[in-house]
Amino acid sequence: MAERERRQAPPYGGVFRARTRVMDSDDVQRAVWRMAHEVIEANHGTDDLVLVGLQTGGVPVAEALAGALGSISGAEVALGSLDVAFYRDDIGLRPVLPEAVTDIPWSLDGRTVVLCDDVLFTGRTIRAALNALSDYGRPRAVQLAVMVDRGHRELPIRPDYVGKNLPTRRDEVVDVHPEGVDLGEMVR
Partner 1 sequence: MSPLLGRHLLGVEDLDGREGIEAVMRLTDSFVEVSERAIPKVPALRGKTVAWLFYEDSTRTRLSFETAAKRLSADTMNFSVSSSSVKKGESLRDTARTIEAMGIDAIVVRHSSAGAPHRISGWVDAAVVNAGDGWHQHPTQALLDAYTIRQHLGSVEGHHIAIIGDIKHSRVARSDVAAFTTLGARVTLVAPPTLLPPSLEGWPVTVSHDLDAVLPTVDVAYLLRMQRERMTEALVPSLREYTATFGLTRRRAELLSPDALVMHPGPMNRGVEIAAEVADLPCSLILDQVRNGVAVRMAVLYLLLGAGADLVPPALDRTQEPEAVRA
Residue numbers at the binding site for partner 1 (CB under 8 A): 1, 3, 6-7, 12-18, 83, 85-87, 91-98, 101-103, 107, 131-132, 134-137, 175, 187-188
Q: In terms of Cα–Cα distance, which of 33, 14, 13, 15 is closest to 25?
A: 33
- Distance in angstroms (rounded) separating the CA atoms of residues 97 and 95: 6
In whole angstroms, the minimum distance from the beta carbon of 47 to partner 1 comes to 22
Looking at the Cβ atoms of 17 and 170, the one nearer to partner 1 is: 17
In whole angstroms, the minimum distance from the beta carbon of 44 to partner 1 comes to 28
Looking at the Cβ atoms of 46 and 125, the one nearer to partner 1 is: 125
Looking at the Cβ atoms of 123 and 159, the one nearer to partner 1 is: 123
| Sheet (strand 49-54) strand order | 78-82, 49-54, 112-120, 141-149, 161-165
Looking at the Cβ atoms of 12 and 141, the one nearer to partner 1 is: 12
Cβ 167 vs Cβ 3: under 8 Å: no
In whole angstroms, the minimum distance from the beta carbon of 5 to partner 1 comes to 9
Write out the H or E segment, with its range, that includes residue 15. strand 15-24
